[in-house]
Structure 1
Amino acid sequence: MAQDVIVLTPKMPDPRSLLVGLFAGGPGLSLSEDHGGGVVQLCGPDGVPLVALDAPLLVHTPGEAERLLGPEVTAPPLPYWWMETRASSAVPEATPLAGSVGGRLTTLLGGTVWPPQTATTRTVEIPGDRDRTDTARHDGFAATVDVLTESTAVVLSDRPVLPLTTRLADTLRTATAANRALHLVTPPHTRLTLPLHRALSGSPNRWVVQDPLGGYYDGSSGIRLAWRDGTFTAATDTEPPMPPVTSERRLTLTFRTVHAPDADLTIGLGLEAAWRHLTGAPPVGWSTAEPVNLPWSPAQLTDLARTRAPAATHVVVIGDPVRPSIATLRVSRTTAGVAQDVTLSLGYVSPTDVPLDAVEPLAAHLVAEHRLTTMLTTLQAGRSDLTFAPGPEAPPVPVSFTLGARDVHSVGLDHAGRPPLPTPPRRLGRPNAPALHYLFADGPGIDPWTQLRRLTEHLESA
């Protein structure tokens, strides 16, 4: 299994310290660059990549090291530098080499190495006479991919919490562009962060878990998997296991706002308003991947979106660690204007902690101030730390749906206001141009998903 070694330092890894670290394998190794220079690869005498080092990130966000590496990690005071290194799974010496790189960097710069037992400063001898074929270096995958077939890129990883790193995000984009699936293989103790779990949720991508008793199973559904014809597929005659029972809950709001592409438009204000309504505070950080390293700034987010336009911008947003909360935001240009698609999830240890009574006032605020078009609110039994353990989870349950004023007008207020639901919708916003907020009933013999389907069919039939 490939080993990630992460270096946290109070000082920036400068060229001198990096050079000392890269000599952990002696003078016979060489360097190469990939992903536009964002990744430096330490290669053996035969040219095979051994360790990939990502560009260091300056982390301003509280709690990121603890969220992604575990509560026992000792991170330097904020802000600190975060450097990810990945040892190849094909070379036994690669993991101790990555640990020696990390140990040398922290000897010079201070800080800590994770996992701590990997840190050394010894020189790792790398044999150079092995007959080895490195197929994963082709097609732009570099040392990120452990197995590459005609249909699938397989990445092996062993971390307690696996996030959507820049490297994994790039690998997913490369696989998609090459018409390949990305299959992420982990041991059963690994959990995925919410952004990575969402990124892998679309077919043909898959989270694959090694079963300690032998074989593999799907990390999201729990069904048995088999390796056939260069990819992981569902084994025959397999039944998914039942999801575990838990009192913890995840509240998820999926909403879209659309604004005219004005010069004074600021991105992220609707998302910030939702955060304040549900937690009492704004987000603390944002980034294009994990770890989330930048302090929350709608102005900087707006600058990034403008720089990337007309291409879409995808970012991850995080809240204060006291209240687990995380969101993904996609900014794109549409025929109607600048669309901001948000999926915001919050974790609670008990169903009684979920602020369901705050959802309708939030919807009213987003309608009045941020041009909300739609918002679906769901509640799901699941880990309150917003990570995903291997195996199935209970499906989310729809709580409410909000239709913005523009779409109510398009459907027709009379038609949209008479849905096939147990209770009529509530009007939000201006009396002469209202939005509608629909509530779904839940109880014995009442299926909220059926109500949502009927509502959707009703609105589309106008």
Structure 2
Amino acid sequence: MMKDVIALTPDMPDASAVVAGLFAGGPGLDVGAGHDGAVIQLRAADGRPLVSLEAPLLVHVPGEAERLLGGDVSEPPVPYWWTEVRASTAVPEAGALAGSVAGRLTALLGGSVWPAGAATTEVVRTAEGTAQAATDDDDALTVDVLTDSTAVVLADRPLLVLTAWLSAILRKVTDAGLALHIVTPPHVRLSLPLRTALAGAPNRWVVQDPECGYYDGLSGAVLHWQNGTFTPVVDETGERSAAKVFTENAPATGRQLGVAFRVTHRPDDSLVLGRALETAWSALTGATPAGWGTAEPINLRWSKGQLTNLARERSPEPTHLLAVGHPDRPAIATHRVTRAPDGVAEDITLTLGYGEDETPPLDAIEALARTLVAEHGLTSMLVTLRRARRDLAVPPSLEAPPIPVSFTLGAEDVHTIGLDHARRPPVDLQPVPLGPTTRPALYYPLGDGTDAQAWTVLQRLHAHLRNEPAD
């Protein structure tokens, strides 16, 4: 299991600070680099990897350390440097060694170390041993267990997030045709971006449970290790069972508003991406996003220009981005930019968290749809509401499903389907035209997010719009 220690420093860890940190294990350790120099490894004399020091990240977004590490973290004023030190538990002393590396950085640069109490400046000696030597192969999978079918990562931190390291592991695993299984204790939560990245077979979030052994943190299925992978336990009739702890947790008191939409633009040298996301964010929170990035922690101040430049550099390949809100309103978005047959598409899912005594802004949704239609080329938008945690963290327990609030169909698809057909669904709702009367989009109100029958209405509406026969 990787033990993470994080140094948060006001000044950049320069070469001398890094060298001081690397001497935490004394002069007998070897140093190697990987991933084009982005990772420095401390290795035992026999080649065993002990500690990996990630490239420092300059964080400009306030509240990220508290969001990802918990309320007891001491976060310096922005901007500050975030340096992750990962220790392999294959060597018992590696955790203390990581704490000494991080402690030496903060002793020289100021700042703080997470978790509290992990920092030391003592030299940590490691036991002698024999192991297969490590390599400098950037394509090697640095995971805890690797079989013919599955890469297993063991992790333990309050909120497990889509770091640059985990994102790279996921890409390599996918390219190799393997499954990624992340194993955690039951107190761990996932961030929404990581939950999205792990969704669907063959990847899994595997939770350790003293009663049943292991279970899937997203589905609840009891799991066991068989033939080199975690697989559901089935009884003699072939039925799967759910872990008791997964279904018995008290329901969440907060709510999450989900806004999933697509906008499509004609290709243009002057095109600026991120405008539709900024519009939605402002309409629902009264502020623009606080920051954006490609992994967590999200480190860059919100900038549509920088976001656009990155997407242009990566084109024609898709670009996957994240955005986060200000600390007073939990909000996070995934943002995917792709080439579309008719131009450039932005697929955005914005999720906002509300406490028990807060009211989600459902009354702002129709006006938002109208603006996205008029100014941003809205293709479609689905808005949902559900009972879930205000902080947007994903627990390893059963959560209430989202309930549809509204669906908006863009003008182009309404025109293709036929306006007369699209505005006469076989359900008890009256669509609202948005935009020019000769070529409108249609906004379909589905409810206030409290009646699960809205899913039936939405399914019948979709079948009608696709000209499918009624059930």
TM-score between the two structures when normalised by the length of structure 1: 0.96
1:445, CA displacement in angstroms? 8.7
Letter in 2 for 1:3: K
In structure 2, the residue matched to 1:83 is: 83
1:35, CA displacement in angstroms? 2.3
Q: 1:420 aligns with which of 426, 445, 453?
A: 426
Point out where structure 2 has 5 or more consecutive residues left out of the alignment.
235-239
Residue 397 of structure 1 pairs with residue 396 of structure 2? no
Report the 3-state secondary structure (helix = DSSP H, G, I; strand = E; otherwise coil) of the residue aligned with 1:31: strand
Letter in 2 for 1:409: H
1:51, CA displacement in angstroms? 1.0
Give the whole-Å Cα distance in 1 for the aligned partners of 2:29 and 2:205.
34
Residue 177 of structure 1 pairs with residue 183 of structure 2? no
Give the whole-Å Cα distance in 1 for the aligned partners of 2:185 and 2:381.
36
Q: 1:406 aligns with which of 412, 420, 423?
A: 412
Question: Identity percentage over the alignment?
Answer: 57
Report the 3-state secondary structure (helix = DSSP H, G, I; strand = E; otherwise coil) of the residue aligned with 1:227: strand
Residue 291 of structure 1 pairs with residue 275 of structure 2? no
Residue 140 of structure 1 pairs with residue 147 of structure 2? no
Give the whole-Å Cα distance in 2 for the aligned partners of 1:300 and 1:239.
45
Alpha-carbon deviations, 1:26-74, whole Å to 9, x = none? 1222222222222222111111211111111111101001111111111
Residue 432 of structure 1 pairs with residue 438 of structure 2? yes
For the Cα contact (< 8 Å) 2:47–2:131, is it kept in 1? no
Greater mean alpha carbon deviation, residues 344-353 or residues 411-420: 344-353
For the Cα contact (< 8 Å) 1:276–1:282, is it kept in 2? yes
In structure 1, the residue matched to 2:237 is: none
Report the 3-state secondary structure (helix = DSSP H, G, I; strand = E; otherwise coil) of the residue aligned with 1:353: coil
Give the whole-Å Cα distance in 1 for the aligned partners of 2:315 and 2:406.
33
Q: Residues 410 and 215 (structure 1 numbering): CA distance in 2 closer, same or farther, change over 3 Å?
A: same
| Equivalent residue runs for 1:185-224 within 5 Å | 185-213=183-211, 215-224=213-222
Letter in 2 for 1:331: V
1:422, CA displacement in angstroms? 1.1
Report the 3-state secondary structure (helix = DSSP H, G, I; strand = E; otherwise coil) of the residue aligned with 2:337: strand
RMSD of aligned Cα (Å): 1.9
1:134, CA displacement in angstroms? 7.5
For the Cα contact (< 8 Å) 2:181–2:204, is it kept in 1? yes
Give the whole-Å Cα distance in 2 for the aligned partners of 1:263 and 1:138.
39
For the Cα contact (< 8 Å) 1:250–1:379, is it kept in 2? yes
Give the whole-Å Cα distance in 2 for the aligned partners of 1:135 and 1:370.
51
Residue 329 of structure 1 pairs with residue 332 of structure 2? no
Give the whole-Å Cα distance in 1 for the aligned partners of 2:275 and 2:29.
49
Give the whole-Å Cα distance in 2 for the aligned partners of 1:204 and 1:138.
26
Q: Which runs of 4+ in 1 moved over 6 A?
A: 134-139, 442-446
Q: 1:363 aligns with which of 369, 392, 401?
A: 369
Report the 3-state secondary structure (helix = DSSP H, G, I; strand = E; otherwise coil) of the residue aligned with 1:341: strand
Alpha-carbon deviations, 1:304-363, whole Å to 9, x = none? 111111111111100111011000101111111110010000001137611111111100
Give the whole-Å Cα distance in 1 for the aligned partners of 2:448 and 2:67.
34
Report the 3-state secondary structure (helix = DSSP H, G, I; strand = E; otherwise coil) of the residue aligned with 1:117: coil
Report the count of equivalent residues: 460
Q: Residues 28 and 136 (structure 1 numbering): CA distance in 2 closer, same or farther, change over 3 Å?
A: closer
Give the whole-Å Cα distance in 2 for the aligned partners of 1:300 and 1:35.
24
In structure 1, the residue matched to 2:273 is: 267
Q: 1:154 aligns with which of 148, 152, 155?
A: 152
Give the whole-Å Cα distance in 2 for the aligned partners of 1:96 and 1:377.
47
Q: Residues 406 and 443 (structure 1 numbering): CA distance in 2 closer, same or farther, change over 3 Å?
A: closer
Give the whole-Å Cα distance in 1 for the aligned partners of 2:47 and 2:163.
25
1:244, CA displacement in angstroms? 3.4
Letter in 1 for 2:427: L
1:260, CA displacement in angstroms? 1.0
Alpha-carbon deviations, 1:75-127, whole Å to 9, x = none? 11111000111111211111111111001111111111111221111111123
Alpha-carbon deviations, 1:230-276, whole Å to 9, x = none? 11111124135536323310000110001011011101000000000
TM-score between the two structures when normalised by the length of structure 2: 0.94
Q: Residues 216 and 8 (structure 1 numbering): CA distance in 2 closer, same or farther, change over 3 Å?
A: same
